[in-house]
Amino acid sequence: MIRFENVSIAYDRKSKPALDDVSLDIQRGEFVFLVGSSGSGKSTLLRLVLREHRTPHGQIYVAGQNVANVPSWRVPKFRRGIGVVFQDFRLIQTKTVFANVAYAMQVLGKSRAAIRAEVPRVLELVGLEDKGRRLPTELSGGEQQRVAIARAIVNQPGILLADEPTGNLDPTTSAGIMEVLDKINQNGTTVVMATHDDDIVNSMRKRVIELKHGKVVRDENAAQYTSMIPIVPAAGLGSDPAMKHDAEPQTRRQRIVSAAAVRDAADDSLPPRLERRRGPDAAEGNAAEGPADGNTAGEKTAGAKNTNEDQK
């Protein structure tokens, strides 16, 4: 459904690549989370799928079409097969809920009969069957996002792209939005969602593609926001496959702490001559070391507030 082959793109010659040699393959009907810090390339990837940018390196295929071969005058027709939901709702404030959703059909020239049949169906799907006559200003944030989702799927696209759709919502409202997106996915739509919300990713256990500095660093099925790879067992256990299989999954931070403990244990077992050469300050030096990737929990939280930095 969506395939990237060695795709690289930079927004100017002086900047680092927004995507760097990215290859991935998303099948029809999958639900995929794109995770990573701000500036990792998540939004750039979505924009390339939508043909908002052209890539100078690599190939992108969407629904069997080579995006590079889609001329500018055909882009609107190409995008009919893709629904998009953003962090901000982008509703027409002077139109009712029904009219906002119907507008997406009107621009494609759909008949009034088709609109009268389809709009109520999707409003029911997103749980707004009784809100059709309301204006956006009369709705909560979660309800406005449901309208935006209904508008994105009313023309039955094969792909739904969601760029931080829960970024402005509280956890309870976010959970409701994710139930809607999951229901849409179960109806056959391929869903690709960029998010910083680890609670959502952890609870849904879908495929997770992690980006870092424009590169794909992880691609796991039924995964959590943080990689759950067992740590390397202690000395003497590494050769036993059963011990590796039974190892307790740990987060990245836990793996760093565990690795430090294993290293210190190895240092303490050095022969006396090497122990003397190590010196008394070695323990302090080890304790001063921080996480290898430099990403703290605070930085992840700060990144969730500004998804637009993904372009950079």
Is pLDDT at 286 greater than 90 in this prediction? Answer: no
The CA distance from 141 to 252, in Å, is 33
User: Confidence class of residue 241 from pLDDT cuts 50, 70 and 90?
Assistant: very low
Least confidently predicted of 44-48, 86-90, 175-179, 228-232: 228-232
Shortest CA distance to 53 belongs to which of 34, 38, 72? Answer: 72
Q: What is the pLDDT of residues 5-31, one digit of tens each?
A: 999 999 888 889 999 999 999 999 999
The CA distance from 119 to 106, in Å, is 11
Q: What is the pLDDT of residues 203-225, one digit of tens each?
A: 999 999 999 999 999 999 998 88
Q: Which two tokens stand for residue 146?
A: 């449901």
How high is the pLDDT of residue 42? 95
Is pLDDT at 116 greater than 60 in this prediction? Answer: yes
Comma-separated ranges of CATH 3.40.50.300 domains in the chain: 2-228
Q: What is the pLDDT of residues 148-166, one digit of tens each?
A: 999 999 999 999 999 999 9
Q: What is the pLDDT of residues 35-56, one digit of tens each?
A: 999 999 999 999 999 999 888 8
Is pLDDT at 108 greater than 70 in this prediction? Answer: yes
How high is the pLDDT of residue 251? 44
Phi, psi (5° rounding) for residue 59?
-125, 145
- Return the CATH number of 2-228, one of 3.40.50.2300, 3.30.470.20, 3.10.580.10, 3.40.50.300: 3.40.50.300
Q: Nearest 5 degrees, angle CA 36-CA 38-CA 42?
A: 60
Contacts 24+ apart (CB under 8 A), 3-7: 3/59, 3/60, 3/61, 4/45, 4/48, 4/58, 4/59, 4/60, 5/58, 5/59, 5/60, 5/61, 6/57, 6/58, 6/59, 7/48, 7/55, 7/57, 7/58, 7/59, 7/60
